[in-house]
Amino acid sequence: MNWQQSFDEAVEAHLSELEQQKKDELRLAFGERDMVVFDGLLPERLRDEMQEEALRLLRQHGRRRELHIQETGNTPRYFNSAGRQAIAEHGRYIPAFFASEPIKRFLAEINAGKPLFPVPYEPEEYIINSQQAMGDTHGWHWDDYTFALIWIVEAPAEGEGALVEYIPRTEWDRDDKANCVQKILESHETSRVCIPQGHCYLMKANTTLHRISPLTGSSRRTVIVFTYASEEDFQKDISHETMEQIWENEIKSGQEAIAASGS
């Protein structure tokens, strides 16, 4: 049995113990809000190992990001992060989680039986982000692909900011970059939630305007972001301008590595 099979077997056994009523509650909540928070997705040992791996990779391969994204009205991105390439090369648990069929089947149950697929763009498969300095924020934006599953590795202390703020069922007006965010903020109510360490949340992130509010204290918020595609995503011409701005060096390095290998 290889590593992926061993991981999946443990996850399958764990998820089989989850009561159907709980799954139904998650499905209904996600259908109502396009966002749902839950815990217990992994056995305790795998959960702890994956979280430790994320912190190790962030220490060893994380880089500081400080920029503003024009495509979403110059909203800020201030955080430390480790990209997909470093995680794939030096990680074990995070890549196994993303590739796990039992995980994808469980998420499909929450999504009213509709499947989730690996995104067809490697740099967005999984990343690690960490707000760890006063004022760090992941500013207002929409994602390129439909689904984001965000795992909370470290949660800020209560009252120290870094809340998930979101407005579901909104549209990214790419023809009005300067005002696309502000128009939504002025015409919709914003929901806010603080999510504990060890929990995760599933979001329809391409139609939910969302941000992580500025960190206001000395604690940290560290997450693993997994991105999945819907069937509809494969029929769209999806560009990756914002991702390519944030991860320019890593994406270029990955492309050079592929070219050098002759793949």
Using 50, 70 and 90 to split pLDDT, how confident is the model at 258? very low
Query: pLDDT tens digits for 191-231?
Result: 999 999 999 999 999 999 999 999 999 999 999 999 999 99
In the chain the domains, ranked by start, together with CATH numbers, are: 3-231+238-261 (2.60.120.620)
For the residues of 128-167, what is the DSSP string, one character each? EEEE-STT-EEEEE--SSSEEEEEEEE-PPTTSB--EEEE
pLDDT at residue 250 in the model: 67
- Helix and strand numbers, DSSP H then E, in the chain: 9, 12
Distance CA 58, CA 80 (A): 8
Nearest to 207 by CA among 130, 147, 125, 122: 147
CA dist., res. 212 & res. 136, Å (int)? 9
Look at residue 174 and tell me whether its pLDDT is greater than 80: yes
Q: What confidence score (pLDDT) does residue 243 get?
A: 76
Structure tokens at 106: 């469980």
Q: Tens digit of pLDDT for each residue in 49-66?
A: 999 999 999 999 999 999
Tokens read off for 158: 């209560």
Q: What is the pLDDT of residue 1?
A: 77
Reported pTM: 0.93
Average pLDDT in the 175-202 region?
96
**To the nearest whole number, what is the mean pLDDT of the chain?**
93
Tokens of 50: 């994956």
> Other CB atoms closer than 10 Å to residue 37's CB: what's the count?
20
What is the DSSP track for 198-227?
A: T-EEEEETTSSEEEEPPB-SS--EEEEEEE
